[in-house]
A and B are shown apart, each in its own frame.
Chain A
Amino acid sequence: MTDLNRLSISEARDALRKGETTAKALTEACLTAIEGAGALNAFVHHTPEIARAQAAAADQRIAQGDAPAMCGIPLGIKDLFCTKGVPSQAASRILEGFRPEYESTVTTQLFEAGAVMLGKLSMDEFAMGSSNETACYGPVISPWRRQGDSAALTPGGSSGGSAAAVAADLCLGATGTDTGGSIRQPAAFTGIVGIKPTYGRVSRWGVIAFASSLDQAGPMTKTVRDAAIMLGAMSGHDPKDSTSADLPVPDFEAALTGDIRGKVIGIPREYRMEGMPAEIEALWTRGTEMLKDAGAQIRDISLPHTKYALPAYYVVAPAEASSNLARYDGVRYGHRASLAQGDGITQMYEKTRAEGFGKEVQRRIMIGTYVLSAGFYDAYYNRARKVRALIKRDFETVFAEGVDAILTPATPSSAFGIGEMASADPVEMYLNDVFTVTVNLAGLPGIAVPVGLDAKGLPMGLQLIGRPWEEGALLNHAYVLQRAAGFVSKPQKWW
């Protein structure tokens, strides 16, 4: 077999079980691909020794005939996941040198299932960003380019390293996290699949916290089937995360029947934004037709509070971030500023945090501090939490009226160039999350599926939103969409 790194997870699993390849061979193919892809800047901490040891153990397990689906599958791990003994720094200078003494629940579960870790993937600092330009490692470059143009494009963010690595076949799948769209937006920008599960489906323990009531981890993969397989391995109740749901994890792959006849697909009119590019609009219409042709019933629906999701999010998320990031004080781990003669503990905190946090992270901490401060708590934070309740109610209403899934664009545009948003004000960058952020606020599962290319030759994706805890049904809808769209494009190798 050639180009083993190009396999999907399901193809690799089947080949491993038939003895047609080995975890060792898969892992070496990925390590070689990573070595040749320095220009993408996706992998920022390399762990070939761990990968080779895990691959050898996986091959032994497979030989014994009792290996789970993820056994021997080489993965990239987002830098937000704590991995024992391996740098885990959320792409921030403030966690420089931090090597966790413990393993996150997600990576523990993946490793117990036999998965192989190739290394850590870059991201926006503390998962705050939509372009991967806030990483302390420098930006990740998308493997995709506009036709006839060599300008560097963003893979999206915050899980941009994960998206670039999967799209460029540096690994078979990657972990991502999604607080406002950080799995789905980069997946859409790079022509891959990314699912954010229902809040509580995947343990947050050992995942460096951004906004705890919104953060969820999920898989980023080449196909919907792979997403189903990998999500199964990541999911499950964890007593160490008090918001982790004590619910059984269904066999998500078994839900991929390809039959959605009679299902009701909601098309929310509020997602038809003013100034939306015609290509995105056309893609949405095409996706709607595809689901209709598969036997689904299409229904116009209203989610009246959609417009307020972004401002509510940009109160709630920074508020939680300002609290979560208070722990970076230069005392217990990470960076500490060098101090001047006579500096006390307050100067140590202030200098450490000024040096350690990038501009966007600082901005969000300060916004969060402001909206939580005395006198503004009710006006901003409590009001945002009330609006959040209304946004969730919008979804509950349409689901109660029989809607099975909701189809929307994943992003307001295809990928933009590195540096193109540099002069934009912060709010413009926030607009990238306009279609995805509602899903986090309502705690729902959402998936981005690649559906087509725009005139510049860049991938465009659609988002499906499902009922809480029904990731299986959601994945099945996505599976139908993926098959109908027949998206097989890959970036042309230039790196």
Chain B
Amino acid sequence: MSIDIDTARRVAHLARIAVREEDLPALAGELSGILTFMEQLNEVDVTGVEPMTSVTPMRLKRRADVVTDGNIQAQILANAPDAREGFFAVPKVVE
């Protein structure tokens, strides 16, 4: 499977990574190379094999449905690039 420039542009957008138009051909080439390498997997007969969900056969534990944490607004916001009046601040979202 080879990735064309349009697909590379689409993947970059899905991943929310800005890629300059002039860098797209090289990116498409690299991604194609990696995907070609992955295509070896098509040689394997996987009929009747369940996809692995957990490498150790264990049941996920349930914890008690109680509040364990909270009231740490200042700590939550301490690392924010832009926090105002107790909130994370972001550029305008709604047009």
Residue of A nearest to B10 (CB): A373
The distance in angstroms between the C-alpha atoms of A188 and B52, with both chains bound, is 30
Q: Of B3, B41, B49, B80, which contacts A315 at CB under 8 A?
A: B41
- Shortest CB distance B40–A (Å): 5
Count of chain A residues near B, Cβ 8 A: 73
Known contacts: A389-B51, A392-B55. The answer to whether A366 contacts B60 by CB under 8 A is no
B40–A308 CB distance below 8 A: yes
B16–A353 CB distance below 8 A: yes
- Shortest CB distance B33–A (Å): 6
B81 on the A face (CB < 8 A): yes
The distance in angstroms between the C-alpha atoms of A239 and B61, with both chains bound, is 9
Interface residues of A (CB under 8 A from B): 97-101, 198-200, 213, 239, 242-243, 245-246, 305, 307-308, 310-312, 314-315, 322, 326, 329-336, 339, 343-351, 353-354, 357, 362-363, 365-367, 369-371, 373, 380, 382-390, 392, 425-427, 430, 441-443, 468
B49–A354 CB distance below 8 A: no
Chain B residues, CB < 8 A from A348: 90-91
A199–B56 CB distance below 8 A: yes
The distance in angstroms between the C-alpha atoms of A367 and B43, with both chains bound, is 21
The distance in angstroms between the C-alpha atoms of A315 and B55, with both chains bound, is 16
Residue of A nearest to B13 (CB): A350
B21 on the A face (CB < 8 A): no
Count of chain B residues near A, Cβ 8 A: 53
A442–B55 CB distance below 8 A: yes
B34–A367 CB distance below 8 A: yes
Binary interface profile of B, 40-58, with partner A (CB < 8 Å = 1, else 0)?
1111101001111111101
Known contacts: A213-B55, A349-B16, A366-B17. The answer to whether A330 contacts B81 by CB under 8 A is yes
Q: Of A199, A362, A386, which contacts B17 at CB under 8 A?
A: A362
Chain A residues, CB < 8 A from B40: 307-308, 311
A314–B17 CB distance below 8 A: no
B17–A383 CB distance below 8 A: no
Q: Of B15, B41, B58, B92, which contacts A200 at CB under 8 A?
A: B58
